[in-house]
Amino acid sequence: MIVHLIRHGETSSYATDAGLTSLGIEQAAARGKVLRRTLPEGASVQIGYAPTQRTRQTATVLRAALRKEGKFRLGTCVAMPEFRNLQVRVDGVDHEPTQVRAMASVAGERGWAVEARRFWEAHERGDAMGFWLTTPLLWHESPADVVARFVRAAVGRGSTEHLVVATHSGCMRAIVAWAWGLDPGEPANAEEVTLVTDSGRIDVTFRDITVNLEVPGEWVCDAELSEGVVKAKWWWRASEVGGVGPGARVRRREVGVGWGGVGWGGGRGVRRRFRGVRSAARFVVGLVA
């Protein structure tokens, strides 16, 4: 799976959830032309966007550019909340930063409002995302959580060969900072970060620099969720699970966890299936890679 993260084109305003300027449309179209030239002919390509106006419009322009010449098997253009912008928690509800800007100006000394005003003051100074990357914030989703969300989403994609997602600069910047070990600065409008996942590792490419990193094993495990069945290799400690004695450990077994039961295979091809797991059974001591 190859995920192409594209920053949205220039927006007409950050005071609210606004669309693109004419320049922003040109930027998105130019990126679409690059993708049309570089993606392999006949490739299956899904188009997605973070749920904001500026990313939705960017994705629409990207898809229009990719449709020309009929070179690809294109999917529809769909919202993908897993690739959303960093979130701000307000009274238990998550919002995109532009959605709280006006609210914060009249919310007094509420914790989220103080943070949001500081964020937008940094924007006026020219680097809100640099502020977010380096400042502990309790009401804003953290850079580490954003990176984890994006990487898990990339690992969990299905059979589509290429996924082109219009998203936001701060998320892309945090991913590259994780990969490089330093802040790359702000991606340009319509610039690209590419994620390629394979066998528990991920390639992060930005400006022709590629870094290969391990993905936490439990994320790979979660990504194998399909039709209600998870397949994974676990350490188990069990008590009376299908006849396994108390405290027994089953190591490196192929486990199938379905909505209706649990089973595993291993050791001379033996496979056992159960209708449930008694409360005494529990997962322990991490994942076996």
CA distances from 139 to 132, 136, 153, 193 (A): 11, 10, 23, 27
Please state the pTM of the whole predicted model. 0.76
Which residues are within 8 A (CB) of 38 and not within 5 positions of it... i.e. 6 or more apart? none
Contact 140, 99 (CB under 8 A): no
Distance CA 112, CA 134 (A): 17
Question: What is the chain written as a DSSP string?
Answer: -EEEEEEPPPBS-TTTT--B-HHHHHHHHHHHHHHHHHSPTT-EEEEEE-SSHHHHHHHHHHHHHHHGGG-SEEEEEEE-GGGPPP-EEETTEEE-HHHHHHHHTTSTT-HHHHHHHHHHHHHHHT-HHHHHHHS--SSB--HHHHHHHHHHHHHT--S-SEEEEEE-HHHHHHHHHHHHSS---PPPTT-EEEEEEETTEEEEEETTEEEEEEPPHHHHHHHT-BTTEEEEEEEEEESSBTTBPTTEEEEEEEEEEETTEEEEEETTTEEEEES---TT-EEEEEE--
Euclidean distance between CA atoms 158 and 156, whole angstroms: 7
Is 187:193 a contact under the CB 8 Å cutoff? yes
Digit-coded pLDDT (tens) for 40-70: 999 999 999 999 999 999 999 999 999 988 8
Per-residue model confidence as pLDDT tens for the chain (289 residues):
899 999 999 999 999 999 999 999 999 999 999 999 999 999 999 999 999 999 999 999 999 999 988 889 998 999 999 999 999 999 999 999 999 999 999 999 999 999 999 999 999 999 999 999 999 999 999 999 999 999 999 998 766 689 999 999 999 999 999 999 999 999 999 999 999 998 789 999 999 999 999 998 766 655 554 433 333 332 223 333 333 333 333 333 333 333 333 333 333 333 333 233 333 333 333 333 3
**Residue 226 is encoded by which pair of tokens?**
């399909």
Quick: pLDDT tens for 170-203.
Answer: 999 999 999 999 999 999 999 999 999 987 899 9
